A and B are shown apart, each in its own frame.
Chain A
Amino acid sequence: MGSLSSERMSLLQEKATAIRRDIIEMLAQAKSGHTAGSLDMADVFAVMYFHVLRHDPANPLWEDRDRLILSAGHICPVRYAAMAEAGYFPRAELATLRALGSRLQGHPERKYLPALETTSGPLGGGLAQGAGMAYAAKMDAKSWRVYIVTSDGEHQAGLHWEAVLFAGKNKLDNVVCIVDRNFIQIDGSTEQVMPLEPLRDKYEAFNWNVLEIDGNDIAALCDAADRARSTAGKPTVIIARTVPGKGVSFIEGDFRWHGKPPTKEEAELALRELSTVGEAR
């Protein structure tokens, strides 16, 4: 973890806060969309776009880019915000989220924005597609890697586990599955709706390398990505334990914020809170 310079660390922290502010603004503007998961994954997306991914916003379809798939498509506001911060498109476009004609569809669509890599929203399908990309990369001896961001709720889908088997069997060490382990889904706590624990043991039993970390800890996220890169012969899962709604006190920890946008007043409160984290831009 010592490898992270303090400049890089504060850049990533600033980016995570900027992403959170963008999320609040775009959801309040759209008046629909998913708040809790988007906020809690801001640190992961800051680390991905500003530290881990080999990518070029000016050339989004660069052949040797690392691939990032957002399997849990409903939290696309966090990805859109991170992409705008990274320069994929103007930040002003964030205000068009979910509106007619926008490239920022309510769930990610590759046809509208090819840098999204694939279309998602129906849960459980991201890892399978990512495993297919990773398999092709191996066939062609390419060194690019595939990162798949999944939610914990979608670990109830059979399709996801079929892909876990496939990636384990084929030793796809160019695959990293990041799990937003926030313990919530629409109907309440994941452990009440359909328990997933012990999640680590499940992945280990399927021949995966398992890293369990605090998903809101930027240094830990960077370190986990490094450890995944140096793991040969196994795919890696990063179980990122997050606090749903992270960063906004009145949203944190409450499953009812899964699919509810903030009102104008709530957004103002949230932005005020977020401007005291680090320095407001």
Chain B
Amino acid sequence: MQTMRDLQQTPQMRPTRDGFGEGLVEAARRDPAVVAVCADLVESTRMQAMHDTFPERFIEIGVSEQLLVAMSAGLAMAGKIPFIASYAMFCPGRAWEQVRTNLCLNEANVKIAGAHAGVSVGPDGATHQAVEDIAIMRVIPHMTVVVPCDAVQTKKATLAVAERFGPAYVRFGREKSPVVTTEEMPFEIGKAQRLREGGDVAIVACGILLYNALRAAEELARDESIECSVINNHTIKPIDEAALVDAAQRCGAVVTVEEHQVHGGMGSAVAEVLALRHPVPMEFVGVQDRFGQSGKPEELIELYGMGVESIKESVRRVLARKR
């Protein structure tokens, strides 16, 4: 088990995208082949620091997400390591076939940064709330898919995908969210992290909702003597099969938590592993086959069933099925 920050204290709040911005500059420092390409969203995707630090390695292309992917495939095939950024809805959303053909079939070394993912984008509404992106990325062969849980981990994930050859997708959010991990905690692509120990139910979470999962586990232990393991399943592809099978064996029941449609996302990926290797009762916390809408981020997380109470409810339901 890994030690994390103490949740009792008021958590430090930082947007995950800040971690991307820092990680990108650091990756560029370490490797001169790293370049950045942006589609008219420099500030909100946090590419500003890269733009300021390495202007000659920064390319602005305007509102052209299909160009963003296809042109970057060219850069990669000529030896560069492009990090490309837009809102997740538009890249990978709009450019899916370019991602499949130009990046994945070619095994081009391009890193996609999908910003403003999830309903927590808030007032912009459904058109801007990407809740299908994990599904459309993880289904493509050769793609790596990482959904870090906080700003600290997003920085590490950015550096990790820079060093790993091949196409990768890193997803992050707009709003400030609690910092759960520490600088010292190791991060490895494909290695899930167990952050809490408990034998009744395993909660497998990714992204900013990991914090809600940890709080749910804490409250269930305190008020209802239900002991949950909590696993940060930050890498959806390649998925950590061993950690998932181990959790299913120890607990005998699993709840997955993600800010994404329940169909095709991280939870589905976990179910695919467990169905084959260790079937146990499962519940899926996420968006239930609906579109988002305008509203405040916290309001929408609650309304769409991803708040602490919803997670606790899913744990109780899966426990009842286990018995």
The residues of A with any CB-CB pair to B shorter than 8 Å are 30, 32-33, 73, 98-102, 105-107, 109, 119-124, 153-154, 156-158, 185-187, 190, 193-194
Contact = CB atoms under 8 A, between A and B. Distances in A.
Interface string B286-323: 00000001111001100100000000000000000000
Interface in B65-116: 65-67, 89-90, 93-94
B53 interface: no
A109 B43 CA distance: 27
A106 B62 contact: no
A120 B60 contact: no
B126 A109 contact: yes
Contacts of B40: 153, 156, 185-187, 193
Nearest to B39: A156
Interface of B: 38, 40-44, 60-67, 89-90, 93-94, 122-128, 293-296, 299-300, 303
Contact of A105 (B38, B89, B294, B303): B294
Majority SS of interface residues in chain A?
loop
B126 A105 contact: yes
B124 A100 contact: no
A153 B124 contact: no
B125 A122 contact: no
A158 B64 contact: yes
Contacts of B38: 187
A33 to B, nearest CB: 7
A58 B180 CA distance: 54
B125 A121 contact: yes
Given A193-B40, A194-B60, A106 B128 contact: yes
A30 B225 CA distance: 43
B124 A106 contact: yes
A23 to B, nearest CB: 16
Given A32-B123, A107-B125, A124 B63 contact: yes
B223 to A, nearest CB: 29
A100 B303 contact: yes
A194 B61 contact: yes
B94 to A, nearest CB: 7
A187 B60 contact: yes
Closest 3 A/B residue pairs (Cβ): A194-B62, A121-B127, A100-B295
Among B44, B125, B300, the one with the most A-chain Cβ atoms within 10 Å of its Cβ is B125
A89 B63 CA distance: 33
B127 A153 contact: no
B169 to A, nearest CB: 19
B63 A123 contact: yes
B47 to A, nearest CB: 10
Nearest to B38: A187
A57 B266 CA distance: 46
A190 B60 CA distance: 11
A37 to B, nearest CB: 13
Contacts of B299: 100
